[in-house]
């Protein structure tokens, strides 16, 4: 998987003169990444940095192994300019999704290409067990890739630090309440770790590698074990004050409905619309131990439990889609996560006709709802992208609330 050069990307402008060297390095890396390869003069033109500043930064990045020289390319008259590209072997980042029932680990190289992916089932979600699997999966990936590790992102199901919602249900991880997850995970692997909520990371993954590539305002409805929402606003994730924005799984959709095992309220959306809810329905029909491929197969066979669940899910999701449109006015809603593509497509098909909302325009560039492209790896890819784009993307850097770069 690679990041496609994309003309519709908002182009970050460099600061000139060199007020912030760190910022300018990111601008240069990002512009080169988007275009796959560029010459110095072209970089200067696109970033509005001086040719001298660009020459210095390019030399520096090449010297550090983050960029590489590709030789000259013909482009009209005169001596063709030397082309530069991001060096895929300049380093890699690891993304880990810790879900309630499985752990996904991926590695991305500096160009954003997927270099490794591993999925292991999680039979025991208590912290000690999770930490030991986390450490051994990381060690395995680091050994297999071999180049420089630039950062680790981890996604876990939210919500974080809510009283009365401290990770007791089947869609959350038990025993993590009150713990500083980033600290504990960092200690387990001996490297700094960025922790993010799974739906937000999934939205970042779709924004950078998937269906959201040229969409700067969208919502990502994310099927983890529960149900979450990632929000991309003006190209960057919107997190809310405490990182819990988009917790749609615990919005009441059935007053006096069934008790939510995670938060104790009645009639939460994820009690009806989630991978967990689907597996619970299947268990009620005597079908247990469902893996991803089994769900795919049952769906292909039109199993009545799946057929009924899809219809119910669409019934509850339709008004939610319209509500999100009315509140956030996104360009589209992207659905994805830990369900087979065919089941997500089926849910989307059953959403029609969607309730009227501010999105009910005759002229639309995008459908109101669409399926994501990054599949089961979505959240882990987003996790790996967090440190990567902390490094190379000036736009996302701001939203990640990293300390402002010091003047050079």
Q: Which residues contribute to the site for Zn ion (CB under 5 A)?
A: 250, 260, 262-263, 265, 268
CA dist 377 and 336 (Å) reads 10
Closest distance to Zn ion from the beta carbon of 227 (Å): 10
Distances (CA, A) of 252 to 133, 162, 199, 223, 231: 35, 17, 19, 17, 20
The two three-digit tokens of residue 309, written as one number: 């669940």
CA dist 183 and 192 (Å) reads 8
Considering beta carbons, is residue 216 or 265 the nearer one to Zn ion?
265
Sign of torsion, CA 23 25 27 30?
Answer: negative
Considering beta carbons, is residue 212 or 226 the nearer one to Zn ion?
226
Closest distance to Zn ion from the beta carbon of 270 (Å): 6
Closest distance to Zn ion from the beta carbon of 226 (Å): 8
Q: Reduced to 3 states, what is the DSSP secondary structure of residue 4?
A: coil
Considering beta carbons, is residue 40 or 250 the nearer one to Zn ion?
250
Considering beta carbons, is residue 255 or 403 the nearer one to Zn ion?
255
Contact 80, 101 (CB under 8 A): no
Closest distance to Zn ion from the beta carbon of 245 (Å): 16
CA dist 321 and 2 (Å) reads 30
Considering beta carbons, is residue 117 or 262 the nearer one to Zn ion?
262
Considering beta carbons, is residue 274 or 331 the nearer one to Zn ion?
274
Considering beta carbons, is residue 211 or 269 the nearer one to Zn ion?
269
Closest distance to Zn ion from the beta carbon of 356 (Å): 28
| Geometric angle at alpha carbon 4, from 211 and 23, rounded to 5° | 105
Closest distance to Zn ion from the beta carbon of 258 (Å): 10
Closest distance to Zn ion from the beta carbon of 242 (Å): 17
CA dist 319 and 342 (Å) reads 22
Could you check whether the bond before residue 17 is cis, i.e. omega within 30 degrees of 0?
yes
Cα 201 vs. chain centroid, distance in angstroms? 3
First vs last C-alpha separation in the chain: 35
Contact 61, 30 (CB under 8 A): no
The two three-digit tokens of residue 233, written as one number: 């606003």
């Amino acid at each position: 998987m690679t990041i496609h050069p994309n003309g519709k990307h908002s182009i970050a402008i460099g600061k000139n003169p060199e007020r912030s060297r760190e910022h300018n390095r990111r601008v240069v890396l990002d512009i080169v990444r988007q275009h796959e390869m560029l010459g110095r003069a072209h970089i200067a033109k696109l970033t509005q940095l001086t040719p001298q500043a660009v020459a210095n930064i390019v030399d520096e990045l090449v010297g550090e192994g983050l960029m590489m020289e590709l030789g000259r390319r013909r482009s009209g008259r005169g001596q063709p300019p030397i082309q530069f590209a991001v060096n895929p072997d300049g380093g890699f980042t690891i993304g880990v999704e810790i879900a309630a029932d499985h752990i996904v680990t991926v590695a991305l190289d500096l160009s954003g290409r997927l270099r490794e992916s591993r999925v292991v089932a999680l039979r025991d979600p208590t912290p000690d067990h999770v930490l030991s699997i986390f450490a051994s999966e990381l060690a395995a990936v680091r050994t297999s890739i071999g180049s420089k590790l630039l950062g680790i992102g981890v996604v876990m199901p939210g919500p974080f630090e809510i009283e009365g919602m401290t990770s007791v249900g089947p869609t959350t991880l038990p025993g993590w309440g009150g713990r500083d997850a980033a600290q504990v995970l960092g200690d387990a692997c001996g490297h700094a770790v960025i922790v993010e909520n799974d739906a937000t990371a999934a939205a970042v993954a779709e924004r950078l590698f998937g269906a959201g590539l040229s969409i700067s305002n969208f919502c990502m409805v994310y099927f983890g074990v529960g149900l979450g929402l990632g929000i991309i606003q003006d190209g960057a994730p919107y997190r809310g004050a405490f990182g819990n924005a988009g917790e749609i799984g615990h919005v009441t959709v059935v007053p006096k409905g069934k008790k939510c095992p995670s938060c104790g309220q009645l009639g939460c959306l994820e009690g009806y619309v989630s991978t967990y809810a689907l597996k619970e329905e299947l268990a009620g029909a005597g079908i247990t131990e469902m893996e991803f491929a089994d769900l795919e197969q049952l769906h292909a066979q039109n199993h009545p439990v799946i057929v009924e669940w899809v219809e119910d899910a669409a019934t509850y999701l339709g008004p939610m889609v319209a509500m999100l449109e009315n509140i956030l006015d996104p360009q589209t809603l992207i659905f994805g996560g830990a369900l087979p593509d065919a089941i997500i497509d089926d849910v989307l098909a059953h959403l029609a006709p969607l309730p009227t909302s501010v999105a009910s325009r005759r002229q639309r560039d995008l459908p109101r709802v669409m399926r994501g492209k990054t599949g089961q790896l979505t959240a882990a890819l987003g996790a790996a992208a967090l440190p990567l784009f902390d490094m190379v993307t000036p736009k996302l850097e701001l939203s990640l609330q990293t300390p402002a770069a010091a003047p050079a």
